[in-house]
Amino acid sequence: MATLTAQSVPETKATPAEKRRLLLLMGPPVLALLLFFLLPLGVMALYTFQTGTLGGEMSWSLETYGRFWENTALHRLLWRSTVVSFQTSLLCILLSYPIAYYLVFRAGDRRMTLLTLIIIPAWTSYLLRILAWKLILGTEGLLNTFLLWAGWVDEPSPILLFSKTAVIVTLVYVWVPFVALPIFAALERMDKRLLEAAADLGSPPWYSFLRVTLPLSMPGVLAGFLSVFIPTLGEYVTPLLVGGVNGIMYGNLIQDQFVRALNWPLGSLMSLVMLVALLPLFLLFRKSDQVLQ
């Protein structure tokens, strides 16, 4: 019986020219990351150890940490914002997946045209799209006009405006196109011959979807989920315009601490706490993505 012997592969070292080329390519992005991300984070972390408001007498202590720890209202608001972000991300996935599936498997040559039509609203101003939903959900908006025409209400009223529901509806509308793109890309990369093989083996379409299509598209689903969950957790513009008091989120209080209260130590600490709260979820999804691959 022939035996296989492992042959050692000689290691290749990068030449000085390749090292210079790598430094030239990676230098600017690394420098930009250092200047515009890591350095501001470091400055913000230093602010958390100070006390007092901006422009007043500043001293170094852990007083801000103690105040944040004792303020359970901030903890509840962070949890509430996390739930809103999770609900928004989940709804975006549920709405985007059928769209991406249709574009890949049913649209044919029209897929790129339809995909462009889905993305076109994202080319307009973000603020303009939010204000449009404020008009739709308002007293004289499209929703109340339809309800009056259908005879379901006797007088117009802001049924959904200035509530948590209005925040979720608006955020879902804004982020659906950005979730459909990674799912579309994942489904587009999938080898369609796997579905043909499953059909030849007698698998019904719904079972092929559960065992073949859905698992292979999960990297796109996870990427879409994170692309919505991370920015919406710190969202403050949408709750400010359509949420009102009932739809306030964690990002609104952070913005208030920096702009109105001028309490930069507390605002910095709240921002860092939100960042730390995102890390376990990011690591979990990264581990899940590695397992799927």
Average pLDDT over residues 149-173: 82
Q: pLDDT tens digits for 45-74?
A: 888 888 766 655 567 788 889 989 999 999
What is the chain's mean pLDDT, rounded?
Answer: 85
Reported confidence tier of residue 2, pLDDT bands at 50, 70, 90: very low
Lowest-pLDDT range, 116-125, 130-139, 244-253, 283-292? 283-292
Res 6: pLDDT: 43
Q: pLDDT tens digits for 95-111?
A: 999 999 999 998 888 98
Average pLDDT over residues 256-275: 90
The larger pLDDT score, comparing residue 280 to residue 239, is at: 239
Longest pairwise C-alpha distance within the chain: 90
CATH H superfamily, domain 80-260: MetI-like (1.10.3720.10)
Those residues whose C-beta lies under 8 Å from the C-beta of residue 56, and which sit 6 or more positions away, are none
d(CA 96, CA 187): 12
Dihedral sign from CA coordinates of 117, 122, 124, 126:
positive
Residue 4 has pLDDT above 70, yes or no: no
Identify the CA nearest to 243 among candidates 99, 51, 77.
Answer: 77
Reported confidence tier of residue 131, pLDDT bands at 50, 70, 90: confident
Exposed e or buried b for every residue in 256-280, given b needs 16+ CB within 10 A? bbbeeeebbbbbbbbbbbbeeebee
Helix (H, G, I), strand (E, B) or coil at 160: coil
What number of residues does the chain have? 293
Please spell the DSSP secondary structure of 225-277, one letter per residue. HHHHHHHHHT--HHIIIIITTTT--HHHHHHHHHHTS--HHHHHHHHHHHHHH
Res 253: pLDDT: 93
Average pLDDT over residues 180-205: 90
**Burial class (CB within 10 angstroms; exposed 0-12, middle 13-18, buried 19+) of 80:** middle
- The CA-based angle 257-89-117, given to 5 degrees, is 110
Helix (H, G, I), strand (E, B) or coil at 31: helix
Q: Does pTM surpass 0.75?
A: yes
Reported confidence tier of residue 5, pLDDT bands at 50, 70, 90: very low
Lowest-pLDDT range, 51-55, 137-141, 184-188, 199-203? 51-55
Res 201: pLDDT: 87
**Which residue type occupies 168?**
I
Pair of tokens at residue 277: 């709260």
**Helix count (H) and strand count (E) of the chain?**
14, 2
Res 49: pLDDT: 87
SS3 content of the chain, % helix, strand, coil (to 5): 75, 0, 25
Contact assessment for residue 153 and residue 143, using Cβ atoms and an 8 Å cutoff: no
Average pLDDT over residues 239-259: 90
The larger pLDDT score, comparing residue 157 to residue 196, is at: 196
